[in-house]
Chain A
Amino acid sequence: KNEVEQSPQNLTAQEGEFITINCSYSVGISALHWLQQHPGGGIVSLFMLSSGKKKHGRLIATINIQEKHSSLHITASHPRDSAVYICAVPKASGSRLTFGEGTQLTVNP
């Protein structure tokens, strides 16, 4: 079993739909990261959170430390949201991260 598991692996949505991507982890953490990787490869950090909820524009990230689970929500999805979304958690030994395999999101117009 991977230390970080994301679901679904692939997700296709219509423009305007509400999207949820899930991340479950098995290690104890101090903070969880959500990253976005666009076609062409560049990776951007979206959120780093250790409790509760964070919001940035149409993106919302939540985390439940007790259940070791985080979700990334996208409201009013748009084709430009099409990307791979990656969840990452630090190993107990400090700065080293374990990455999920990513969720490929495609939003069709």
Chain B
Amino acid sequence: NAGVTQTPKFRILKIGQSMTLQCTQDMNHNYMYWYRQDPGMGLKLIYYSVGAGITDKGEVPNGYNVSRSTTEDFPLRLELAAPSQTSVYFCASSYRGELFFGEGSRLTVL
């Protein structure tokens, strides 16, 4: 199993650009999450999904959108990128409470 795979690992965006962070997992987990990690801060939940077709907002959803058309994929879309979205983004899945993380995507908005 590849586990949780995120792409890209690094990206630089200009203010106002849009992009999609891809996340896929091959463990057939229903629960998936997107977090952002800012320096010196704990992980903050952006969006989560409890299964295909179901998504819900987390703590910091503004400026982001998600979709969950399949169990495997949970992409995160940034519309109109802003400097405040400069962060490291982690996708995760869980099964029976145990967490599995992707390797992270470092995004810089200039």
Contacts and interface: CB of A to CB of B under 8 A. Distances in A.
Contact of A43 (B40, B90, B106): B90
A31 B98 CA distance: 10
A34 to B, nearest CB: 11
A41 B43 contact: no
B45 A97 contact: yes
B97 A86 contact: no
Contacts of A30: 97
B94 A41 contact: no
Interface residues of B, number: 22
A56 B21 CA distance: 34
Give the interface SS of chain B, mostly helix, strand, loop or mixed.
Answer: strand
A82 to B, nearest CB: 18
Given A86-B43, A95-B31, A101-B41, A43 B101 contact: yes
B46 to A, nearest CB: 11
Contacts of A96: 45, 48, 58
A42 B41 contact: no
A48 B98 contact: yes
A99 interface: yes
A98 B90 CA distance: 15
B42 A86 contact: yes
Contacts of A86: 42-43
Contacts of B94: 95
Interface string A45-88: 10010000000000000000000000000000000000000101
A44 B103 CA distance: 9
Given A35-B99, A43-B90, A95-B50, 17 more contacts: A31-B97, A33-B97, A35-B101, A41-B104, A44-B101, A45-B100, A45-B101, A48-B97, A48-B99, A86-B43, A90-B97, A97-B99, A100-B42, A101-B40, A101-B41, A101-B42, A102-B42
Interface of A: 2, 4, 30-31, 33, 35, 41-45, 48, 86, 88, 90, 95-102
23 contacts: A2-B42, A33-B99, A35-B99, A41-B103, A41-B104, A42-B104, A43-B104, A44-B101, A45-B101, A48-B97, A48-B98, A86-B42, A86-B43, A88-B43, A90-B97, A95-B31, A95-B48, A96-B45, A96-B48, A96-B58, A97-B99, A101-B40, A101-B42
